[in-house]
Amino acid sequence: MSGTALAIPDQDIQTLPALVDRAANALASARTAAEVLEARELAGVAYDIAKRTARLAKATAAHDTLIAAAHRAQANALEIEAGAKRRLADEYDAAQERGEVQSPGGDRVSNVPNQNNAPTVSDIGLTRKDIHEARLVRNAEATDPGIVKRTVDAALAAGEEPTKAKVRAAVLQVVQSDRDELPAAHNKRGPRMPVPAGVLVSDYVRGGIAMERAGQTAEEVAKSLGIGVLSYRQCKDIVLLSERTDLGSAAAVIVHQALTALNETGQPSLPWESVRPLIDRVWGGKGARREQKTERRRVEQFQNAISVITESCAHGGEIDIPHMSADDKKSTIENLKRAERDIRDLRERIEREVSHD
């Protein structure tokens, strides 16, 4: 990879703090809905550039500090965007109360000159989805202050990218009892668990896990519990993770949050999504059995692959180099550089895992 390509993330990193500061200042000084919208757009631009910078830095094997700086800028941009959405929701609802924008089923003309209809959502440059998302963020922050900041901070602490998807999932977990949520979002949460009064969902599911260990299939257990197989398996994953004692501190916090959300809401889908990356690391992809021998087999396969890499590298210096054409030499050098980057990336990923324990 050329030096120019490696310099691109550096250049973007230099502009990111200014972009984030500009968005923060725009929101702090905003006095009108239009100015709040401008702040939201600026935060969105900063987020997109930070996201692109992080991906480019990773693809070009740039130093971890560049990736971390880009992720921090993403997190800051998401916090600013969330603040803008809260302001936007308040501004829009206040405008509806004043009759300055249309309300569903309300009086559309009394506060507008010449008996014209009040502006619609689209007339002021927004969509109904914009307003809905803004209200979700506002309501989530009102219910659980600091939820957005904690979400992005948790992602950073886990060495993960803070994304809009993570923020939205956290917001929906807080407000999922709100009947104003979109039906599609409700469907993503899944059905509520039919747990007997006074019984925690996790304890209810532990009974099912015991039945499965006694020889019943997951399908039979789910039927006995009166829930779907998918819901049972998602609940089981969360419960099994919560019982582990070998998780790092950051992973343990994420699992605890998922277990708490499961017990409080009785709906497993979103909590399960929040721990899905950990599930993939512990047991593997879709369909993998949640057993110790599955974990041992995955560790053995990983260690065997590492042994092949290290043995190859150990003997690499002893390989006789034959006469090659200039093109063959160039291709060989590029392949070795690519291998060096891949090995460094693997080592750094493992080091990040260690640092989070």
pLDDT tens, residue by residue, 8-31: 444 555 677 888 899 899 999 988
User: Using alpha carbons only, how large is the chain's radius of gyration in Å?
Assistant: 26
Q: Computed from CA positions of residues 2, 4, 9, 10, in that sequence, does the dihedral angle turn out positive or negative?
A: positive
Is 236 within 8 Å of 202 (Cβ atoms)? no
Q: What global pTM score does this model have?
A: 0.47
Looking at residue 291, its pLDDT comes to 60
The dihedral of CA 57, 61, 4, 10: what is its sign? Answer: positive
210-245 pLDDT, tens digit each: 998 888 998 998 888 888 888 888 999 999 999 888
pLDDT at position 80 = 94
pLDDT of amino acid 101: 58
64-97 and 33-59 helices, crossing angle to 10°: 160
Q: What's the CA gap between 225 and 209, in Å, rounded?
A: 11
Contact assessment for residue 180 and residue 135, using Cβ atoms and an 8 Å cutoff:
yes
Residue 238 pLDDT = 93
Residue ranges of the chain whose pLDDT lies below 70: 1-14, 60-63, 96, 98-125, 176-192, 285-295, 297-299, 352-357
Count Cβ neighbours within 10 Å for each residue of 260-289 and write b for 16 or more, e otherwise: ebbbebbbbbbbbbbbeebbeebbbeeeee
C-alpha to C-alpha distance for 165 and 276, rounded to whole angstroms: 13
Q: How far is CA 7 from the centre of its chain?
A: 28
Alpha helices in 216-325 (DSSP H): 218-225, 229-242, 249-265, 269-283, 292-316
How many CB atoms lie under 10 A from the CB of residue 91? 19
